[in-house]
Amino acid sequence: MTGRALLTCFGYVALLALLAVGADRLIASRVFQSPGELVPAYRAFQEPSVSVKLHDLEQASGTFDTLVLGNSRTLFGVRPDIVDRVLADRGIAQRSFNLAMPTVDVRFWPRFMRDYYDRPAPKRLLLGVIPRDLDARNVQAVTQMNAFFASSGFDNRDRSAAWRGAEEWRSRIFTMHGRFNEVRRAGIGGLLRGDGLAPPQIRVSERGWGQFAPGVAPSKRELAEQARRLAVRSGSLRLAVGDEQIGALRQLDRWIRARGGCLTLFTVPVLYDREPWGTVEVRRAFERTMRAFVRANPRVGYLDLGPRTEDEYGLADFGDGDHLDPSGAGRLSRQLADALAEDPRC
């Protein structure tokens, strides 16, 4: 009697589950342009590309010798596959991952490495730096940083494998699960019309390197016009170097040295920089500050690739004013690998 009732009950649950899955797929196909493109909701961070990247990092097996850190310029600019290939050609075997995240500044990384990163420590941290990274008035980075440490992805970092497996399984069965924040962006009108939410603007490729999604980057003509206006410009803003920012660089250096590795800072070439920190005066002050920092901290490496190599880059190498496109990223990655091969610190 119980056996038959049990079968009936489980049959009922299976039927409901089937109907729920069908309805979920139907809704998802209306809400999203590519409903299958997702990471499990429990790993959601402040920005879709961060979720994808940290999901990929978690899925990757083995260790990484070099972790590339920084903001979106580094995210778009460094291709780990090319860096590794060039170094391998020079007889240096290594494996790298691009962990750079949009909008964060140097203050983000010490806490990220301490509280989130749970893999074996790399031999080298390669941190891309830009003028706003050092400025005490960079509030946008604080917002991003707080959003990261308040996200469900960060909250759930220490969950058991069974817990994570089950959550991942649920997200694969029910596409809509945990995506209410995204759905809200669609608006009722959009949902009724079935417009479909566009996929994220940043597509994360292999080992964390990012590219613009098709149609997001401005045209080359627009780029040329903007570059004419903005590439070399003056302004009244002065770089206000923050103690917290300099302290964060020192903390990161201590963290990696305590684990037997080293920290190398580097800069990325830009076509033009629309930000208030993109003026000639601020860039010069930034260069002076960086040189003073590495003089005071001789164990920290500094590869000033930006100004040194900017002339070699043309319009075709940029996705927008301060983000490289795949060809530019390839060029920078080769230059970076060459510089690393000659850097005796690590």
Contacts to another protein by CB under 8 A? 1-3, 5-6, 8-10, 12-13, 16, 19-20, 23-24, 27, 41-42, 44, 151-152, 155-156, 160, 162-163, 165-167, 169-170, 174, 176-181, 183
Residue among 165 and 235 whose Cβ is closer to another protein:
165
Q: Is the CA virtual torsion 282, 284, 290, 292 positive or negative?
A: negative
Q: Which is nearer to another protein, 23 or 341 (CB)?
A: 23
Q: Do β-strands 96-98 and 66-69 pair in parallel, antiparallel, or remain unpaired?
A: parallel
CB of 157 to another protein, least distance (A): 12
CA 311/CA 291 separation, integer angstroms: 21
Q: Which CB sits closer to another protein, 115 or 222?
A: 115
> Which residues are CB-contacts of 210 (< 8 A; sequence separation ≥ 6)?
49, 53, 72, 75, 76, 98, 100, 202, 203, 204
Closer CB to another protein, 10 or 296, in the complex: 10
Minimal distance in Å, beta carbon 144 to another protein? 17
Q: 3-state DSSP helix/strand/coil percent for the chain, to nearest 5?
A: 55, 10, 35
Cβ at position 104, least distance to another protein in Å: 19
Identify the DSSP state of 4.
H
- If the CB atoms of residues 54 and 106 are measured against another protein, the closer one turns out to be 54
Closer of 154 and 313 to another protein (Cβ): 154
Minimum distance from CB of 20 to another protein (Å)?
Answer: 5
| Closer to another protein by Cβ: residue 52 or 78 | 52
Q: At a CB cut-off of 8 Å and minimum separation 6, what does 218 contact?
A: 226, 320
> In the bound complex, what is the minimum distance in angstroms from residue 196's beta carbon to another protein?
16
The CA-atom distances, in angstroms, between 94 and each of 22, 89, 91, 97, 144 are 46, 11, 10, 10, 31
* DSSP label of 286: H
Q: How far is the CB of 47 from another protein (least distance, A)?
A: 12
Contacts of 136 (CB under 8 A, 6+ apart): 240, 241, 242, 243, 244, 245
Alpha helices (runs of H) in 156-261, residue ranges in sequence order: 161-173, 180-193, 220-230, 243-258
Least spacing, CB of residue 137 vs another protein, in Å: 20
